[in-house]
Chains A and B, each alone.
Chain A
């Protein structure tokens, strides 16, 4: 059975801090690892990672995948209160567009 595990479950930081979120996966016929941000409503897409060791960046967010050790990390630098959200990672199989999600990490950024 496919499984995606995220850690920590939650964390509280202050503005300006850096956070690192972890995601380990066991997905049959793995193709890609995705990160989503979920505020009050629907998840919104952040990154898709398919190759090991290649960092993807978008502003203060970056992510990297290790296909040998089966994990990914999401870094957020110089955090702002607007980064407060649940961050979800998901594994995608080679067949179709099916996603297996982790339980999410809840991030709270205090002013």
Chain B
């Protein structure tokens, strides 16, 4: 299993450009999520999905769009990049939580994005 993969590893954008960060997992996990990590702020949830066709907003969704057309893929789109979106982006996946259980989230290697 490749686990959770993310592409690209690094990206530099100019203000106003758009792009898509790719995330894929081969573990048949229902739950997928996107986080951004800024210095001293831990990870903040951007969007998440509990299954194909179902997405919801996290803590910091503005400026980002997601879709989940397949179980495996969960791309994150930046519509019009801004310098405030300079960050490291992590994708994570897990089996869906049910009842009182929490299922460990597996993180991808991250994408370092710089917006000039």
Residues of A within 8 A of B (CB): 4, 6, 9, 31-32, 34, 41-45, 48, 50, 88, 90, 92, 94, 96-104
Contact = CB atoms under 8 A, between A and B. Distances in A.
Interface stretch (B15-23, B64-72, B97-105): B97-105
Interface in B13-50: 31, 33, 35, 40-45, 48, 50
List 6 tightest A-B contacts by C-beta distance, closest first: A101-B42, A42-B107, A97-B97, A101-B43, A103-B42, A97-B31
Interface of B: 31, 33, 35, 40-45, 48, 50, 58-59, 90, 94, 96-97, 100, 102-105, 107-110
A88 B92 CA distance: 15
Nearest to B35: A101
22 contacts: A4-B42, A43-B90, A45-B105, A48-B104, A88-B42, A90-B42, A90-B43, A92-B102, A96-B48, A96-B50, A97-B96, A97-B97, A97-B102, A97-B103, A97-B105, A99-B105, A100-B59, A101-B35, A101-B44, A103-B41, A103-B42, A104-B42
A45 B104 contact: yes
